[in-house]
Every structure is written in structure tokens, then in C-alpha cells.
Amino acid sequence: MRSRSRRAKVTYRYQMSYTKSRMGHSQSGNIHVTSRNFEPRSDSCTVLQPDVPLAVVEEILLNLPEHQVVRVGRLVCHEWKELVDSAAHWRERCRREGIQPCDASRHPEDWRLFYFLTKQRRNLLKNPRAEDEFNGWKIVQNGGDSWAVENNSVEVSKNTVPKCFVTSYRLCLKQQLIDLTKEGYSGAFMDHLQPHIKISDWYAQRCDCGCEYQICVELLDQKKKRIYTFEPEPVFFPQWNDTQWCEMTHVFKDYGPGVRFIRFTHGGKDTQYWAGHYGIRVTNSSVEICPAMLG
């Protein structure tokens, strides 16, 4: 009995070492499994099973980091692969971590995809804080003395945001178009689950000049036709106000099927037509796909 236990441990160490040497590596952090089929020794799981029941293996896998389970655990043998690939495994991970769909009546068709997209929630806008000048943005209107980038000395949402975009004395608008498929959100995922889409934008006036702020966020179909639009009334600031950052937020819900793109447009101008850059300032903008409510 002692000999068989020792042999199982040796086989397990060999298996994991051999798997690590064969698996693919991803510097981007995305889920990646080598395309070469890994065929373990036919007796490896036979040796392991008497000493390590699959129920125990599953409990071990549930306590390992999710990327390690995908990249390594599923390559050990066919039984382990079936465990990792099962919907039950990822549904249980979601349950233990308090990850629940925003709409309880809509259950994910792919629990693993749902889990990872929830864990990898991120801002889909590029260069939202003017740290890279205007890279990532399309200038739609460039009135007056045009858009500019300035240093920011006032905290934004209790955080230091060192730079901001600033407008001039005629309307200035800039825009980004987000391709959801390229960002990893397939049409099937968006149509079936209809995850919440949260937008946020921070804007501030100058204390010595009146100004105007505008925002328009559109959900578009495959042909870039509007499905749903958020476009509140412009916000006006009179002259001689305290310089404070304000947040504009909105959450798209129950928007229906067909959403493939998000078009984010914002900007404004000063209302006193002063030469230079005395208009509204914007920074720290964001668009996030929120598949789940985190408990």
C-alpha cells in the first residue's frame, strides 16, 4: 500500500511537470491553451484515482486560481479536463465568489465565459485621462482655439488625475467607437445575457468663465445604427463658480438584442467666447460591460 501511494505521488509530480513544459504561455493574461492535444500516460489517472477521488480533485481545483486550472489542471488527464470544462465547475465558482447575473432570469449559456468576463471587467475607452494626448480619440468638432490638454490640480473622485482635456470658445466634441466583438463580447453573449453597460464621465468648469458640457452615448447594431441612446440636456455653469469635478453616470439595461458597438461622444465650450481654453474640462471617462452583480 505504501508503495502504491508513493508511486501515485511520483506520477502526479511527473504529470504536472510534463504538462507545464508543454502548455502555452500568454503574456497578455488572456485565457490560452496550447492547440496541441496533450495525451498523458494511459495509466496516470488509473494510478491517481484510487488515492484521490474525483470529488476531492474537484474541491482542489475550485480552490486554485482560475487561470492555473485552465492552463494546467485540464491537461492532466481526461477526467480532470471533463471537470474543468463542465458548466457545473464554473457555476460553482460563481456561487462561491458571489457572482450573479444582473438579471436573475437570464442564465449564462457559457458559465466559464461569463465568469472570466465578469472577473476581467475593465474600462473599454482608450486614453481616458489625456495621458497620451489625443491618441484613441476622434475629434468631431474642434471649434474656437480647438481642444487642448492641461494639467489638473483638483482631485477627481478622491483620486489624483494629473491631466484633463479642455475645450475652447466654440463647440469641441471628441468621440470613440468601441467594437464589442473585438473586446471579447460576442454577439451571442450580448444578445442572450444583455449585461449592464455602465458609463461614467467627469467634467468641471473654470471658476472665472461660464461653460457648457455635453455627452451622448449610443448603443449601435452591426450596421452602426442606433438601438438605444443616452443624451441628457447640456449642463451649463455660470461664471464665478467653485472649481469642482462632477460625475455623469448612466447604466444601460434591457436594451434588447443586436448591440455590437458603443459610440461615446462628449465635450462642450465656454459660453463667454474668450480666446484660449476656458471651456469645460473632461477626464477619467469610462465604459464598462457589467455581466454580473458582485455579491
What CATH number is associated with residue 171? 2.60.120.260
Range of the domain at 33: 2-85
Say how many domains are in the chain.
Answer: 2
Question: Residue 139: in which H helix or E strand, if any?
Answer: strand 138-142
Residue 42 and residue 166 in one domain: no
Instruction: Give pLDDT tens digits for 180-230.
Output: 999 999 999 999 889 999 999 999 998 889 999 999 999 999 999 999 999
Q: Assign 165 to helix, strand or coil.
A: strand
Q: Whose grid coordinates read 460625475? A: 247
Residue 38 and residue 183 in one domain: no
What mean pLDDT value characterizes the chain? 82
In angstroms, the CA 25 to CA 23 distance is 7
What is the band of 74 on the pLDDT scale with cuts at 50, 70, 90?
A: confident
127 within domain boundaries = no
230 within domain boundaries = yes
What is the band of 11 on the pLDDT scale with cuts at 50, 70, 90?
A: very low
Residue 12 and residue 152 in one domain: no
Please tell me the predicted confidence (pLDDT) of residue 45.
52
122 within domain boundaries = no
Q: Examine the pLDDT at 23 and tell me if it is beyond 80.
A: no
Residue 166 and residue 289 in one domain: yes
In angstroms, the CA 228 to CA 217 distance is 9
20 within domain boundaries = yes
- Is residue 262 within 8 Å of 124, Cβ to Cβ? yes
What is the band of 295 on the pLDDT scale with cuts at 50, 70, 90?
A: very low
- Is residue 279 within 8 Å of 214, Cβ to Cβ? no
Average pLDDT in the 170-184 region?
97
Residue 24 and residue 155 in one domain: no
Beta-bridged to residue 200, according to DSSP, are: 249, 286
Q: Examine the pLDDT at 257 and tell me if it is beyond 80.
A: yes
Please tell me the predicted confidence (pLDDT) of residue 202.
96
Residue 251 and residue 143 in one domain: yes
